[in-house]
Amino acid sequence: MEDHVYRTIAELFGKDDGYCRGRGGSMHIADFRIGHLGANAIVGGGVPIATGAAMAQRYLESGRVVCCFAGDGAFANGVVLEALNWAAQAQWTNHLAKDKPFGLPIIFAIENNHYGMTHRSDDEVMGVRKLAQRAAGFADNRMHAEVVNGMDVLAVRDAVARAAELCRQGQGPVLLDIDTYRYYGHSLSDPCVEYRTKDEQNAWRAVDPIASFQKQLREAGWLDDATAAAIETRVRERNARAAVRAAEAADPAPEEVLTFLYTDTACETVPAEFAKPALRGPLPEIKRDAEGRILYKDAIREALAEEMARDSRVIFYGEDVADYGNAFKATKGLLETFGRRRVFNTPISEACICGTAVGAAMAGLRPVVELMYMDFALMSSDQISNQAAKWHYMSGAQAELPLVIRASVGGGKGYGGQHSQTLESVFAHIPGLYVVYPSTAYDAKGLLKASIRDNNPVLFVESQLLYSEKGVVPAEDYVVPLGAADIKRAGGDLTIVCWGPAVGDALKAAAVLKQENGVETEVVDIRCLVPFDEETVLRSVAKTGRCVVASHAVNIGSFTGEIVSRIMEKAFDELDAPVLRVGAKNGIAPQSHILEAAFLPNAKDIVAAARRIL
Indicate which residues carry an active-site annotation: 350, 419
Q: How far apart are CA 201 and CA 192, in angstroms?
A: 10
Choice between 147 and 613, CB closer to another protein: 613
Task: Supply φ then ψ for residue 83, to 5 degrees.
Answer: -70, -35
Q: For residue 530, give the amino acid letter.
A: V
Based on the shown chain and the rule CB under 8 A, indicate whether residue 545 belongs to the binding site for another protein: yes
CB 384 within 8 A of CB 433: yes
Among 42, 243, 511, 577, binds another protein (CB under 8 A): 577
Among 99, 123, 199, 573, binds another protein (CB under 8 A): 573
Choice between 124 and 576, CB closer to another protein: 576
Based on the shown chain and the rule CB under 8 A, indicate whether residue 612 belongs to the binding site for another protein: yes
Q: Which residues from 167-196 bind another protein, rule CB under 8 A? A: none
- Do strands 404-409 and 368-371 pair parallel, antiparallel, or not at all (unpaired)? parallel
Choice between 534 and 574, CB closer to another protein: 574
Based on the shown chain and the rule CB under 8 A, indicate whether residue 574 belongs to the binding site for another protein: yes
Based on the shown chain and the rule CB under 8 A, indicate whether residue 520 belongs to the binding site for another protein: no
Q: How far apart are CA 209 and CA 204, in angstroms?
A: 10
Q: Which residues of 519-555 are buried (b: 16+ CB within 10 A; e: fewer)?
A: bebbbbbbbbbbbbbbebbbbbbeebbbbbbbbbbbb
Choice between 334 and 580, CB closer to another protein: 580
The most distant pair of C-alpha atoms in the chain lies apart, rounded to whole Å, by 98
Choice between 433 and 547, CB closer to another protein: 547
CB of 573 to another protein, least distance (A): 4
CB of 528 to another protein, least distance (A): 28
Among 575, 590, 595, 608, binds another protein (CB under 8 A): 575
- Compute how many residues bind another protein; rule: CB under 8 A: 9
The piece of 84-92, 153-161, 209-217, 567-575 that touches another protein (CB under 8 A) is 567-575
Rounded (5°) CA angle 426-427-433: 165
Q: For residue 605, give the amino acid letter.
A: D
Alpha helix (H) ranges present in 131-222? 153-168, 198-205, 209-219
The piece of 2-10, 481-489, 494-502, 575-583 that touches another protein (CB under 8 A) is 575-583
Choice between 124 and 516, CB closer to another protein: 516
Based on the shown chain and the rule CB under 8 A, indicate whether residue 572 belongs to the binding site for another protein: yes
CB of 524 to another protein, least distance (A): 18
Based on the shown chain and the rule CB under 8 A, indicate whether residue 608 belongs to the binding site for another protein: no
CB of 610 to another protein, least distance (A): 12
Instruction: Report the Cα 368 to chain-centroid distance in Å.
Output: 10
Alpha helix (H) ranges present in 112-258? 153-168, 198-205, 209-219, 225-248
Q: How far apart are CA 18 and CA 5, in angstroms?
A: 10
The piece of 326-334, 391-399, 557-565, 572-580 that touches another protein (CB under 8 A) is 572-580
CB of 567 to another protein, least distance (A): 11
| DSSP state string for 459-482 | EEEEETTTTT-EEE--SS-----T
Residues forming the site for another protein (CB under 8 A): 545, 572-577, 612-613
